[in-house]
Amino acid sequence: MSSDNDMKNAIANRKRALAVTNPHKEALDLAEHVPFQVAVVSNLLSLDRDPVIRSLTELNTRELRVLLNVGSYGPITAAEVSYQSRLDPYSVTRAVNALLKLELVHAMELAGKSKPVVLTEAGEKIYREVTVHVQKREAMLTEHMSDDEKAQLSALLMKLELTAEEILANEVTEMEAQGQAVTRDHKEMQRWYKRSRQR
């Protein structure tokens, strides 16, 4: 991987590329805008952009994210996957159904409407191969960070996630109070927020 000097040079180049050229004072400096920064990193780390992962499986990004959740936390329901991954419930259900058809997960025979799923042997194989790769990629990604920086980054990302959840839930509540329409996905934000804040 690159040296510290290479990293400093790359940071300087990136900042130059993102220098604000709009002459208006109120122009948004995206290089300093935290949601933009998080989205850019997320775009780079998207599973569907990784050539190694693409060589391991033809699952789409959502199906793969659901498979990883099932592998790490199964048996698990679609609603639980949705809460953990912050994916909308409808697309999680579609991904679970696709994984069921591909026989990468199977539903457990339990009473009740929501049936938890677990990985099949074929699903476990993909899970193992992908997790080995993403753990290797994580090690490379964080090699310029100290253990304290890694722990701090993890804590800050969790704070960002929970603050974003609160903001969205409050916006849904305000829209409802004003008589505006909200979607099922919006209502899910409120449920997630209540769940995260329960004592």
Confidence at residue 109, expressed as pLDDT on a 0 to 100 scale: 80
What is the mean pLDDT of the segment spanning 71-79? 94
Q: What's the pLDDT band for 111 if we cut at 50, 70, 90?
A: low
What mean pLDDT value characterizes the chain?
91
Q: What's the pLDDT band for 85 if we cut at 50, 70, 90?
A: very high
Domain boundaries, the chain: 1-20+28-45, 51-141, 147-197
Report d(CA 105, CA 110) in Å as an integer.
15
More confident residue, 161 or 10: 161
Q: Which DSSP symbol is given to 156?
A: H
| Tokens, residue 187 | 């209502």
What is the mean pLDDT of the segment spanning 31-44? 90
| Tokens, residue 94 | 């579609």
* Phi, psi at 52, each rounded to 5°: -70, -45
Q: How many of the other CB atoms lie within 10 Å of CB of 192?
A: 18
> If you classify domain 51-141 with CATH, what class do you get?
mainly alpha
pLDDT tens profile 115-174: 899 999 999 999 999 999 999 999 999 998 999 999 999 999 999 999 999 999 999 999
Closest CA to 82 of 184, 182, 157: 184
Residues forming beta bridges with residue 117, ordered by sequence position: 76, 107
